[in-house]
Amino acid sequence: MVKIFISADMDGVAGVATPRQCDMDNPDYELARRLMTEEVNAAIAGAFDGGATEVLVNDSHSQQINLLPNLMDKRAELILGRPKRAGMFCGLDASYAGAMGVGYHAGASQFGVLAHTVDGAVYAALRVNGIDCAEATLYGGYAGSLGVPVILLAGDDRLQEQCEPQFPGVRCVVVKTAMGNRAARSVAPEVACERIRAAAADAVRNRASIRPLVIPGPCRLELDMMNVAQADVVMNIPVATRLGPRTVALPADDMAGVIGWVGAVNAMSAALR
């Protein structure tokens, strides 16, 4: 059995450059979700080309009901909706041979197309044991705690610049170049899908040469919140420590605990909106 896990985001998809495209209340969203589905299908096809026997996809963008089930490769299974345990990597366990991030992007406060980490309205930066975290870092570290390597990342050039060094051997597929936070030079969607399929197949075939990202516990999560009021909310957690007006720290035994805190703080911060 060769099981492959795919986490699907939208912000890093070819042809997507602005928040309105990622917002389900905007008419531009319907095209973006189709483009997202096509890139995921390319990753699924590539995984099977490379020898996968089972593929599980987790919809990981916003409300996490973006992928079009009726248009997806029928060989894969799909997780939809939120909230869910382990967030963007819900469904992953130690039985998987590798994880892929499709439609991914650079982290909070980085230069990159739609760059953010988890929620751009909440987090200005996240650090785990001093490591600046993009979503790929955060959830890739969780995968690493299970012994699962991240074998492919697809998104813009700034995703590659930030995260490729964190995952030696990972196959990075650049489908667009950042011209700003809300501007991109993108390849055609068909070209993006061709690149993703080829890289996914190569990643699965050569998965043994790609090592997991391991961030040893115990972990210290530092959160730079977007505003002081959000940090005030976090300080209602008994184990929280105030490091500055907008910065708080939380302890965790491991990366599972870290992503649990990130999800909980994000939900708490919604009370201020």
Residue in 33, 61, 105, 116 annotated catalytic: 116
Whether the bond into 189 is cis, omega within 30 of 0: no
- In angstroms, the CA 123 to CA 263 distance is 11
Residue with the two structure tokens 């990622």? 22
CA distance linking residue 130 with residue 245, whole number of Å: 19
Residues of the chain by 3-state class (helix, strand, coil), percent to 5: 35, 25, 40
Identify the burial level of 14 via C-beta atoms within 10 angstroms of its C-beta, where 0-12 means exposed, 13-18 middle and 19 or more buried: buried
| CA gap 194, 200 in Å, rounded | 10
116 among known catalytic residues: yes
CA gap 15, 128 in Å, rounded: 32
Give CA–CA dist 263/248, Å, rounded.
15
- Alpha carbon distance 240, 67 (integer Å): 36
Catalytically active residues, by annotation: 116
